[in-house]
Amino acid sequence: MSEELLSPGRTLGVIGAGVMGTALLKGMLDHGLLSRRQAWGAAKTEASCEEVAQSLGITTSREYADLVGDAEILLISVKPGQAAKVAEKLKASGLRSDALLISVLAGVTTDRFEGMLGSENPFVRAMPNTPCLVGHGVTVYCGGRWATDKHLDLCKKIFLSVGKALEVEEHYFNAITALSGSGPAYMYLVMESLADAGVRVGLPRDLAMELVAQTMLGSARMVQETGRHPAALRDDVTTPAGCTIGGLLMLEDGKIRSVLARAVEEATKIVEQLGRGKS
């Protein structure tokens, strides 16, 4: 059981209890970082509130103004375009000056969020990814102007409950959003394509998918656990004149490296636009 996150009588609220917000809530609850009584969530529609209340067993509300006053940590997980609206609502709802705000909004910088709040609340910007749902996410975070080491430690504890957590400089955020924030979607596309490829060469779809998923997981663990470069690990699979080198040649003919690089480059440009409020 992990150490408690909150002071007695204080709460943690997730504003925007959608995919990412509930993944983080679930991780914290499962790891005993907070009790169900200490957690609450807010969503836009009654249907979402009911669903989250049922699945996580916590208080949820569309009108969360009366919950803000007791909050010690507020995790903001609405879409980036809702940032100003949420900041306005927090200001009008008795936000305590010591409440820590953590935002996972793509593209919204600490300067911009702190400007919208207009207060000296400690603020941390973070970028998680959806594998947080199964405890294997990766989250980067950085502190704003009034965030101390204590706030960064709290933040780290939260994100460690759903995977890896790394403190990084804020200027890396757009690139990281495009690489590991969007990354699971790229991996799913690769997995889907390889499973189709397995079907093409005669395998039943279920078997192909299971083989592909475990191969991706195993390859990732080989990189993490051996510390060896992927190119060196790839050489180990590649017999002279064998089938693997033939397959690799076809991938290179299809420009797989530059296609992946262009995908991340394009996603980075779009995050930059999100940050300027253009999307």
Instruction: Please select the residue that binds ligand NAP; options are 104, 140, 209, 267, rule is CB under 6 A.
Output: 104
165 binds ligand NAP (CB under 6 A): no
Instruction: Please select the residue that binds ligand NAP; options are 48, 109, 121, 174, rule is CB under 6 A.
Output: 48
Residue 23 Cβ vs ligand NAP, minimum distance, rounded to whole Å? 8
- Look up residue 275 and give its amino acid: G
Q: How many residues bind ligand NAP (CB under 6 A)?
A: 27
Confirm if 122 and 148 have CB atoms less than 8 A apart. yes
- CB half-sphere exposure, 101, CA atoms < 13 A: 28
Of 44, 186, 181, 25, which is closest to residue 107 (Cα–Cα)?
181
Residue 31 Cβ vs ligand NAP, minimum distance, rounded to whole Å? 20
d(CA 222, CA 25): 30
Q: What 3-state DSSP class applies to 48?
A: helix
276 binds ligand NAP (CB under 6 A): no
Confirm if 72 and 13 have CB atoms less than 8 A apart. no
Residue 14 Cβ vs ligand NAP, minimum distance, rounded to whole Å? 9
143 binds ligand NAP (CB under 6 A): no
**Segment holding 240, helix H or strand E:** none
42 binds ligand NAP (CB under 6 A): yes
Give the strand order in the sheet containing 123-127: 59-61, 39-42, 11-15, 71-76, 100-103, 123-127, 137-143, 163-167
DSSP, res 224: H
Residue 182 Cβ vs ligand NAP, minimum distance, rounded to whole Å? 7
Over the window 54 to 93, marking each residue x when it contacts ligand NAP by CB under 6 A and - when it does not, the resulting string is -----------------------xxxx-x--xx-------
Residue 237 Cβ vs ligand NAP, minimum distance, rounded to whole Å? 31
**Residue span binding ligand NAP (CB under 6 A) among the ranges 98-106, 109-117, 141-149, 154-162:** 98-106
Report the interface residues with ligand NAP, using CB under 6 A: 15-21, 42-45, 48, 77-80, 82, 85-86, 104-106, 127-130, 181
